[in-house]
Structure 1
Amino acid sequence: MYRLVVIDDEYIVVQGIKALISRLKLDYEVVGAAYDGIQGLEVIRSEKPDVVITDIRIPGLDGLSVIEAAKEECPDTYFIVISGYSEFVYAQRALTLGVKDYIDKPVTADKLKNALTRIEDEWAKTRHEDNRKAQANREKFQELERTFESSVKCITDCDAAAFREECRQAIRCLQELYPELQDFRREFYKHLCVLSDVLIESQKQVERGSLVSFQEMVKCQSIEEVQAYGESVLSDISKHLTADQTGSKHRVILELLTYLDEHYDQDIGLSELADRAGMSTAYLSVLFKTEVGTSYVKYLTDLRIKKAKKLLQDGYKVNEVSEMVGYNNYRYFCDIFKKHEGMTPNEYKGNVWKAE
Structure 2
Amino acid sequence: MEQYKVILVDDEVEVIDAMQALIHWDELGFEVVGSATNGVKALELVEKLQPDVVLTDIKMPYMDGLELARRLNKDYPNIYILLCTGFDEFEYAQEAVRLEIKEYMLKPINASELSAGLTKLKDTLDREREEKLNVRKLEDYFKEVLPALRSNLFVSLIEGRISEQEYQRFLSAYRVEMQGPLYCCVIFHTSSTHVPDGVDPVLLSMSVEREIKERLATEWKCQEFIYLGNTLLIVELEMEEKIAELTDACDRFCRWAYRIMGAVVTAGIGRTSDSLFHIHLSYEGAREAVSYRVLYGTKRAISIGEIVPKEQNLTIQAEETRMQELFRAVHVGNQEKIEKAVKKEIEILHKNADTIEQYRLATMEIVSGFYRFCVNNSIDFNGISKDMQSNYEKVPEMDESTLAAWLIEVSMTISDMLKNARNSTSRRLVTEAQNLVKNRYMEAEISLDEVCSVLGVSNSYFSSVFKKETGKPFITYLTDYRMDIAADLMVNTNDKSYTIAEKVGYPDANYFSYVFKKRFGVSPSKYRTKYLQK
TM-score tier after normalising by the smaller chain length? 0.5 to 0.7
The 1:136–1:172 alpha-carbon spacing in structure 2 relative to 1, beyond 3 Å, is: farther
Q: Secondary structure of 1:194's partner?
A: strand
The 1:77–1:194 alpha-carbon spacing in structure 2 relative to 1, beyond 3 Å, is: same
The 1:256–1:8 alpha-carbon spacing in structure 2 relative to 1, beyond 3 Å, is: same
Gaps of 5+ in 2: 184-219, 226-231, 236-246, 251-264, 293-303, 323-366, 378-534
**CA distance in 2 between partners of 1:117 and 1:186 (Å):** 51
**CA distance in 1 between partners of 2:179 and 2:124 (Å):** 35
* 1:41 aligned to which of 40, 43, 50: 43
**CA distance in 1 between partners of 2:371 and 2:129 (Å):** 66
1:68-94 alpha-carbon deviations (Å, 9 max, x no partner): 224455443221111233444323433
* 1:83 aligned to which of 82, 85, 89: 85
The 1:121–1:258 alpha-carbon spacing in structure 2 relative to 1, beyond 3 Å, is: farther
Q: Secondary structure of 1:197's partner?
A: strand
Q: Which residue of 2 aligns with 1:26?
A: 28
**CA distance in 1 between partners of 2:283 and 2:266 (Å):** 13
* 1:175 aligned to which of 165, 172, 177: 172
**CA distance in 2 between partners of 1:104 and 1:31 (Å):** 23
Q: Which residue of 2 aligns with 1:286?
A: 371
* 2:291 is equivalent to residue 206 of structure 1: no
Q: Which residue of 1 aligns with 2:205?
A: none
Alignment map for 1:170-249 (pairs within 5 Å): 172=169, 174-176=171-173, 178=175, 184=177, 192-194=222-224, 197=233, 204-206=267-269, 210-211=272-273, 229-232=275-278, 234-240=279-285
Q: TM-score, normalised by structure 1?
A: 0.52
**CA distance in 2 between partners of 1:4 and 1:207 (Å):** 61
1:330-355 alpha-carbon deviations (Å, 9 max, x no partner): xxxxxxxxxxxxxxxxxxxxxxxxxx
* 2:57 is equivalent to residue 55 of structure 1: yes
The one-letter code of the counterpart of 2:41 is: Q
Q: Secondary structure of 2:56's partner?
A: strand
1:63 deviates by 0.2
Q: Which residue of 1 aligns with 2:67?
A: 65
**CA distance in 1 between partners of 2:35 and 2:77 (Å):** 19
**CA distance in 2 between partners of 1:46 and 1:142 (Å):** 33
Q: What is the aligned-residue RMSD (CA, Å)? A: 4.8
1:11 deviates by 3.4
* 1:256 aligned to which of 299, 306, 317: 317
1:211 deviates by 4.8
Moved more, 20-29 or 95-104: 20-29
Q: Max radius of gyration: which structure?
A: 2
* 8 Å CA contact retained: 1:151, 1:166: no
* 1:7 aligned to which of 6, 9, 33: 9
* 8 Å CA contact retained: 2:58, 2:64: yes
The one-letter code of the counterpart of 2:285 is: H
More helix by share: 1
1:184-215 alpha-carbon deviations (Å, 9 max, x no partner): 4589x99954366279878735268x358xxx
Q: Which residue of 2 aligns with 1:94?
A: 96
The 1:22–1:137 alpha-carbon spacing in structure 2 relative to 1, beyond 3 Å, is: closer
Q: Secondary structure of 1:204's partner?
A: strand
Gaps of 5+ in 1: 213-228, 262-281, 293-356
**CA distance in 2 between partners of 1:49 and 1:144 (Å):** 34
**CA distance in 2 between partners of 1:80 and 1:45 (Å):** 18
* 8 Å CA contact retained: 1:144, 1:173: no
The one-letter code of the counterpart of 1:197 is: L
**CA distance in 2 between partners of 1:205 and 1:245 (Å):** 5
The 1:175–1:35 alpha-carbon spacing in structure 2 relative to 1, beyond 3 Å, is: same
The one-letter code of the counterpart of 2:317 is: L
**CA distance in 1 between partners of 2:312 and 2:121 (Å):** 64
**CA distance in 2 between partners of 1:130 and 1:149 (Å):** 29
Q: Which residue of 2 aligns with 1:311?
A: none
1:126-175 alpha-carbon deviations (Å, 9 max, x no partner): 222223323333443455333444467789xxx725xx359998965652
**CA distance in 1 between partners of 2:19 and 2:320 (Å):** 73
Moved more, 133-142 or 236-245: 236-245
Q: TM-score, normalised by structure 2?
A: 0.37
Q: Which residue of 1 aligns with 2:472?
A: none
1:54 deviates by 0.3
Q: Secondary structure of 1:18's partner?
A: helix
Q: Secondary structure of 2:81's partner?
A: strand
The 1:129–1:10 alpha-carbon spacing in structure 2 relative to 1, beyond 3 Å, is: same
* 8 Å CA contact retained: 1:5, 1:31: yes
Q: Secondary structure of 2:269's partner?
A: coil
* 1:105 aligned to which of 104, 107, 117: 107
* 8 Å CA contact retained: 2:270, 2:286: no
**Number of residue pairs the alignment of both structures matches:** 246
**CA distance in 1 between partners of 2:320 and 2:93 (Å):** 63
Q: Secondary structure of 2:78's partner?
A: coil
Q: Which residue of 1 aligns with 2:120?
A: 118
1:31-54 alpha-carbon deviations (Å, 9 max, x no partner): 222223333333333333221100
Moved more, 138-147 or 8-17: 138-147
Moved more, 117-126 or 246-255: 246-255
* 8 Å CA contact retained: 2:6, 2:55: yes
The 1:124–1:237 alpha-carbon spacing in structure 2 relative to 1, beyond 3 Å, is: farther
Q: Secondary structure of 1:66's partner?
A: helix
* 8 Å CA contact retained: 2:10, 2:60: yes
**CA distance in 2 between partners of 1:52 and 1:19 (Å):** 17
